[in-house]
Amino acid sequence: MNVAVEVAVRVVLVFAAFLLFPLVVGYMEHKAMAHMQGRLGPMYAGGFHGWAQLVADGVKFAQKEDIVPADADRTVFKLAPWIALLPYLLVLVVVPVGPGGLVGSDVDAGLFYALAVMSVGVVGAVMAGYASANKFALLGGIRVAAQLMAYELPLVLSAVSAAMAAGTLSLGGIVGAWRPWWLAWQLLALVVFLVAGVAELRRPPFDMPVADSEIIFGPYTEYTGLRFALFLLAEYAGIVVVSALATVLFLGGWKGPVLDAQLGWLWTCVKVLFVAFVVIWLRVSFPRLREDQLQRFAWMGLVPLALAQLLLTAIVKVAIS
């Protein structure tokens, strides 16, 4: 009985975080991007600085007509947004928020679990690209697939570097072993992880699959209403997940300057939001790469960097043990 209640509480909390954090990040994107471009962003919805803009957007999406193109593969078309969204929810379950088991579920090989489940989300975008019966969507789908294959490798390699340094695959264990000087030791891995993560999320400057100025909106071209909202939610949930993983792997999770035990969850939230801000910052600052530059950058730039970091990690690890 007690266990059931605890599980229920954990599930509810994770679900609440899953619903809340993407909205916070989305709002932050609205505001940060607006101010970086010398605008104000949403100011009216909800009264205070447009805080309810995304809620209003959700209401708008819910009212829209639900359209499935005539030639679309209906089942796959309808399934795709859920496939894209759900993995991020499942990843959030294993992200440790604070010390002492403040985590949805402590999986032993948590790192592998997170990376594995995250990569499933891409299948949703590929499905959407195929099922829409639209050549732009198809192009987008192909680009999604190509991009995933290119960036999955540096992502995993850089994450492995952190796991190697900590000597465990458990996300909680990695945070536990983390020391501030790792920031310098794992700096390269952090950069590679962030870049590959942004690419895996298909966020600018790596948003070739959805490049709206050339292939309309890639795999999401034919989507409207609630399904489109699900894709958008998936994008923001993806930012949260990548930021959370970067926080846990490289930034020391709940470890802060003071009061780790009491305020651990706060440190985690602050770090996650900061990384999310960096992701948004990159989006505003840099133009989109070309598709071939994107692939070249992954294979010729990130993979060697990640391997070099792996080597460095191994050398330092052996040296200090």
Figure out which of the listed residues 23, 138, 240, 249 binds another protein, where binding follows CB under 8 A: 138
Q: Does 169 bind another protein (CB under 8 A)?
A: yes
> Binders of another protein among 192-251, rule CB under 8 A?
none
Determine if 152 is a binding residue for another protein (CB under 8 A): yes
Using CB under 8 A, which of 23, 28, 127, 188 touches another protein?
127
**C-alpha dist (Å) from residue 20 to 10, 119, 227:** 15, 23, 19
Instruction: Supply the minimum distance, in Å, between the C-beta of residue 154 and another protein.
Output: 13
For residue 179, the tally of other CB atoms under 10 A from its CB is 11
Q: Which of 20, 16, 106 is nearest to 58 (CA)?
A: 20
Least spacing, CB of residue 52 vs another protein, in Å: 17
Determine if 34 is a binding residue for another protein (CB under 8 A). Answer: yes
**How many whole angstroms separate alpha carbon 113 and alpha carbon 75?**
28
In the set 72, 89, 275, 306, which binds another protein (CB under 8 A)? 72
- According to CB under 8 A, which one of 14, 84, 115, 303 is a site residue for another protein? 115
Q: Which of 119, 176, 226, 310 binds another protein (CB under 8 A)?
A: 119
Cis peptide before 205, with omega less than 30 degrees from 0?
yes
Contact mark string toward another protein, 269..288, x via CB under 8 A: ------------xx-xxx--
The nearest distance, CB 222 to another protein, in angstroms, is 12
Amino acid at 111: L
Token duo for residue 56: 């209003």
CA dihedral 156, 157, 160, 161 (to 10 degrees): -140
Segment interacting with another protein, rule: CB under 8 A, options 35-43, 254-262, 289-297, 313-321: 35-43
Please report which residue ranges of the chain form alpha helices under DSSP H.
Answer: 2-36, 53-63, 74-92, 110-131, 135-166, 171-177, 182-185, 187-200, 212-215, 225-250, 260-285, 291-296, 303-320
Find where tokens 């803009």 sit.
Answer: 53
Part of the chain binding another protein (CB under 8 A), chosen from 10-18, 106-114, 241-249, 289-297: 106-114
Q: Which residues bind another protein (CB under 8 A)?
A: 32, 34-40, 43, 71-73, 76, 107-109, 112-113, 115-120, 122-123, 126-127, 129-131, 133, 138, 141-142, 145-146, 148-149, 152, 156, 169, 281-282, 284-286
